[in-house]
Amino acid sequence: MAWGNAALSENQNDVEACVTERGYEAEIPTYATAESTPSALFSTVASRGRQAMEGTTANDGFEGIVGTSGALREVLDLVRMVAPADCTALIEGETGTGKELIAHAIHNISPRRGHPFIRLNCAAIPFDLLESELFGHEKGAFTGAFAQKIGRFEMADKGTLFLDEIGDIPLPLQPKLLRVLQEQEFERLGSGRTHRINVRVVAATHRNLADMVRRNEFRSDLYYRLNVFPVVLPPLRERQQDISQLVSHFVEVFSRKMGKRITCIPIETLRALIAYPWPGNVRELQNLIERAVILSKNGVLPNPLPRSDKNPATNPLPVSDKNPLPLTPSKIAFDDSTRALILQALREAGWVVGGSGGAAARLGLKRTTLVAKMKRLGISRAVRRSDMTRLPSTPVESVMGASSSTT
């Protein structure tokens, strides 16, 4: 089927090709210049569990989570396993990947779903107030404490407490948090009375807590107590497969909110969105689609990405003698198409990896990125018998040795 423009159906529930012969998802182009294989992604809008594509998806029953890829199914399988276990869970991932949605999903299918889900962003509360926010205080406990205050742990009794950005909790407060996790008891500020609670804690962070432990910036005992069941969310740049579904989802959300009707999404716009590296992850995608809906005219969604010479999604390298490889979507498996393109670039460059005329430059990649891809795909140059006096230890070293001798 030939690619045309993508259009929203009349009720704006789906992104479809203008000429439809089979499911749209199979037609989504994946750029061979992508840094990682396609995976899953998470919507950051807590809207109804809408299906962005025809048929059922992997996120049935998980409100606000959009996507159909295998990696998303694996994450949701972990959620289904940990939810009834009633243990502490640690959600790790870059900012904007949907950690709060996963925390809410754990609560919603757990035995505690009929009780409160309380959230606290530890990075957003000043240190002087964080202890009071967590544990509460009595009247007169400190200057400005004019009344008794209930802390988040008490609010979440019999329910779930979601502690976002747990890596930002200061060291002096960590022993008290550890005690609550282990003993389920604490004292309010200014009180000697011990309060017992029944709370499940789900924590999240964009930091590497293990590295923080090694640097003595985070208590090891607290880390081990939090890391009972880790769930890692990959960044959006590694989840190209679901981008079209997210675009459809956000277009529907914002077009309804603004009273606008989007009837067409040009395929060039979809391709650019799929190729973009998304440093801000799903939150950045959400904000850019909102901007695009605002700027839309005559029902056509414009490309909201900033134009930059350094942005391959909006300014691809022109095909020329120095860049003879047009990077087009492949209909074969992703790894096979990537391997074919890399081998073609290496042959064109005389197996030179680096430099202005090397294979990395021809593919628009960093040299180190190309070397990593070659190692993962097992790409190496055949070694001649005359060159076998010293065989390198890895396929990549073989290529690099051939490259250095060529240059």
Q: Where are the domains of the chain?
A: 6-62+239-295, 70-233, 334-406
How many residues comprise the chain? 407
The average pLDDT across 223-228 equals 96
**Residue 337: per-residue pLDDT:** 63
- Summarised one tens digit per residue, pLDDT across range 22-51 is 333 333 334 333 333 333 333 333 333 333
pLDDT-derived band at 141 (thresholds 50, 70, 90) equals confident
User: What is the separation, in whole angstroms, between the first and last Cα of the chain?
Assistant: 44
The average pLDDT across 213-240 equals 93
Under 8 Å between Cβ of 272 and 311: no
- The answer on pLDDT for 247 being more than 90 is yes
CATH number assigned to the domain with residue range 6-62+239-295, chosen from the 4 options 3.30.70.270, 1.10.8.60, 3.30.420.340, 3.30.420.40: 1.10.8.60
C-alpha radius of gyration, the chain, whole number: 26
Q: Quote the DSSP letter at residue 241.
A: G
**Residue 332: per-residue pLDDT:** 38
Instruction: Name the helix (H) or strand (E) containing 204.
Output: strand 200-205
- Summarised one tens digit per residue, pLDDT across range 228-242 is 999 999 888 888 888
Under 8 Å between Cβ of 8 and 46: no
- The answer on pLDDT for 388 being more than 50 is no
The average pLDDT across 349-369 equals 82
pLDDT-derived band at 61 (thresholds 50, 70, 90) equals low
- The answer on pLDDT for 384 being more than 70 is no
Cβ count within 10 A of residue 207 = 15
CATH superfamily, region 70-233: P-loop containing nucleotide triphosphate hydrolases (3.40.50.300)
Q: Which of 123-137, 150-164, 224-238 has the highest mean pLDDT?
A: 150-164
Question: Between these two residues, 58 and 73, which has the higher pLDDT value?
Answer: 73
